[in-house]
């Protein structure tokens, strides 16, 4: 038996423990010795849980047990997850994690620590929940020059936008539903303001380039400014509003453009049909062309499935490091102000003529439910800088949302 410990017995951690019991057959097909959860680390006791006898409160019990060669870190947050992960790796214990916050902030350092100590740091569950995307990007697509990744990377906001669109429910109501279903972060601001998706696109971008794309360097907008009027326009335009993480490698100079923001996604794009808690990652490789990875981006068992998949790989590679190329050299991102694209814009009706002058080549759009005191249009392709300059000259803009080109 390979003995493991699960750090944090919350939604994902309890899913890991239950999955190992429930799917013993598939687990043992991959690792014939089998996997046993010897310890569960949590501050709380769980007197009603069938796993109560495995609960410990002191991390050192796990660290000092020579039988433990792999741990699953499902605590979330920076501390004590970082200290525990680092200490485990320094002792040659592999770590599998769902902790995107920690991976985005300390991925290169923890990978280096793993390499020095002949163990692994794996984080399949940190992006896309149950979708296998980290291993495809690092391994299956290794011969590719990946030039673009566009992802719906946050289940909570995709759930919210879908319910707002389909059921005309308010922002607060749909957020409450997402929290009840266990999709949202403890502090849902990380979902709504785009920070969670931003960390995930930074992780994927880092794996694309092998250097460190710092999430702090990625322009980030969430969905909190999206209104039901925007949703009505999107519907009338045959689009759906999605929070996307976008990462593109310039074919000319290899520089990276990375952004997290809500986009109008046209019905002709495969990401348009990705609804509810589902995530999808659209990848373009220079040889393989377009790929799309689709699945549940949050929730207990989908995320646990990804953690256990890493656990099984680590169990098969004890004493060696599963390579992941992601150095601490900071990747300089290209100036987002120079990125060209089209925008959807709503302005008060009295600005109609001035808007037409400032946004040459714009095309007006209408929606049956739109307020009568405003006008809306899509711009011609223009740089972000030119767009912001035109908005500043116009004064008041009720809403602006980028368009994803099909
Ligand atoms: N809050 C995250 C989401 C959980 O909604 O996608 C999975 O990372």
194 & 165 share domain: yes
Dihedral, CA of residue 82, residue 185, residue 68 and residue 327, to nearest 10: -50
Question: Does 221 contact ligand 1 (Cβ within 6 A)?
Answer: no
216 & 147 share domain: yes
Q: Could you tell me the CA-to-CA distances from 354 to 55, 319, 395, 396, 400 in Å, in that order?
A: 66, 67, 10, 11, 16
For residue 177, the model assigns a pLDDT of: 94
Indicate which CATH number applies to the domain containing 55.
3.40.50.720
386 & 245 share domain: no
Question: DSSP assignment, residue 133?
Answer: -
Structure-block tokens of residue 208? 């694309």
Cβ-based neighbour number of residue 306 at 10 Å = 29
Count the domains in the chain: 3
Question: Does 191 contact ligand 1 (Cβ within 6 A)?
Answer: yes
Cβ atoms 107, 351 nearer than 8 A? no
Does residue 326 belong to any structural domain of this protein?
A: no
- Strand pairing category for 343-348 and 374-378: antiparallel
187 & 265 share domain: yes
252 & 389 share domain: no
93 & 151 share domain: no
Nearest CA to ligand 1 atom 1: 184
Q: What does pTM read for this prediction?
A: 0.97
Q: Could you tell me the CA-to-CA distances from 226 to 2, 141, 182, 252 in Å, in that order?
A: 48, 35, 23, 35
Does residue 330 belong to any structural domain of this protein?
A: no
For residue 352, the model assigns a pLDDT of: 95
Cβ-based neighbour number of residue 172 at 10 Å = 9
Q: Can you list the positions of beta strands (E) in 23-100?
A: 35-41, 55-56, 68-73, 94-97
- Kindly state the helix (H) or strand (E) to which residue 103 belongs, with its residue range: helix 100-116
Question: Does 129 contact ligand 1 (Cβ within 6 A)?
Answer: yes
Give 113-145 pLDDT, tens digit per residue. Answer: 999 999 999 999 999 999 999 999 999 999 999
Does residue 233 belong to any structural domain of this protein?
A: yes
Structure-block tokens of residue 322? 């599963």
Q: Can you list the positions of beta strands (E) in 251-356?
A: 256-266, 278-285, 289-296, 340-341, 343-348
Does residue 107 belong to any structural domain of this protein?
A: yes
87 an active-site residue? no
Does residue 331 belong to any structural domain of this protein?
A: no
Of 405, 373, 365, 378, the residue nearest 232 (C-alpha): 365
- Sorting pLDDT into bands at 50, 70 and 90, what band is 95? very high
Q: Can you list the positions of beta strands (E) in 325-373?
A: 340-341, 343-348, 363-365
Give 345-395 pLDDT, tens digit per residue. Answer: 999 999 999 999 999 999 999 999 899 999 999 999 999 999 999 999 999
Is the pLDDT score of 186 beyond 90?
no
Question: Does 297 contact ligand 1 (Cβ within 6 A)?
Answer: yes
Distance 183 CA to ligand 1 centre (A): 6
Does residue 244 belong to any structural domain of this protein?
A: yes
Distance 199 CA to ligand 1 centre (A): 11
Mutate to test the pocket of ligand 1, among 204, 297, 300 (most ligand atoms within 8 A of CB): 297
256 & 150 share domain: yes
Distance CA 30, CA 368 (A): 55
Does residue 197 belong to any structural domain of this protein?
A: yes
123 & 143 share domain: no
273 & 347 share domain: no
Sign of CA dihedral 113, 119, 124, 126: negative
124 & 146 share domain: no
Residue among 3, 38, 100, 200 flagged as catalytic = 200
Cβ-based neighbour number of residue 16 at 10 Å = 30
Does residue 134 belong to any structural domain of this protein?
A: no
Q: Calculate what percentage of the chain has a pLDDT beyond 70.
A: 100
Question: Does 108 contact ligand 1 (Cβ within 6 A)?
Answer: no
Is the pLDDT score of 252 beyond 90?
no
Is the pLDDT score of 271 beyond 90?
yes
Indicate which CATH number applies to the domain containing 387.
3.30.70.120
Q: Which of 284, 316, 348 is the last residue of a domain?
A: 316
């Amino acid at each position: 038996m390979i003995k493991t410990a699960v750090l944090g017995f919350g939604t994902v951690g309890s899913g890991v423990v239950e999955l190992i019991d429930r799917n013993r057959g598939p687990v043992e097909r991959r690792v014939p010795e089998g996997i046993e959860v010897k310890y569960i680390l949590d501050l709380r006791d769980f007197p009603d849980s069938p796993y109560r006898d495995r609960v410990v409160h002191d991390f050192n019990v796990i660290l000092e047990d020579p039988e433990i060669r792999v741990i699953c870190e499902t605590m979330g947050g920076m501390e004590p997850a970082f200290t525990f992960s680092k200490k485990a790796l320094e002792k040659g214990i592999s770590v599998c994690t769902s902790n995107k916050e920690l991976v985005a902030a300390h991925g290169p350092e923890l990978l280096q620590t793993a390499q020095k100590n002949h163990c692994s740091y794996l984080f399949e569950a940190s992006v896309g929940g149950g979708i296998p995307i980290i291993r495809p990007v690092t391994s299956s697509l290794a011969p590719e020059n990946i030039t673009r990744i566009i992802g719906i990377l946050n289940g909570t906001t995709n759930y919210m936008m879908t319910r707002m669109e389909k059921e005309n429910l308010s922002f607060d109501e749909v957020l409450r539903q997402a929290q009840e279903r266990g999709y949202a972060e403890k502090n849902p601001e990380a979902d709504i303001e785009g920070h969670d998706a931003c960390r995930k696109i930074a992780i994927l971008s880092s794996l694309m380039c092998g250097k460190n794309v710092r999430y702090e360097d990625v322009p980030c907008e969430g969905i909190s400014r999206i209104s039901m009027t925007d949703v009505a326009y999107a519907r009338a335009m045959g689009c759906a509003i999605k929070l996307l993480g976008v990462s593109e490698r310039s074919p000319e100079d290899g520089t990276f453009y990375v952004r997290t923001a809500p986009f109008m996604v046209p019905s002709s794009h495969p990401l348009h049909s990705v609804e509810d808690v589902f995530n999808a990652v659209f990848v373009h490789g220079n040889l393989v062309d377009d790929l799309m990875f689709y699945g549940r981006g949050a929730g207990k068992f989908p995320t646990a499935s990804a953690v256990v998949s890493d656990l099984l790989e680590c169990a098969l590679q004890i004493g060696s490091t599963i390579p992941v190329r992601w150095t601490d050299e900071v990747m300089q991102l290209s100036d987002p102000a120079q990125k060209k694209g089209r925008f959807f814009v709503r302005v008060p009706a009295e600005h109609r003529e001035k808007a037409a002058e400032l946004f040459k080549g714009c095309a007006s759009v209408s929606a049956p439910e739109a307020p009568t005191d405003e006008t809306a249009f899509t711009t011609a392709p223009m740089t972000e800088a030119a767009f912001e300059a035109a908005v500043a000259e116009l004064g008041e803009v009720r809403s602006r949302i980028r368009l994803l080109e099909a």
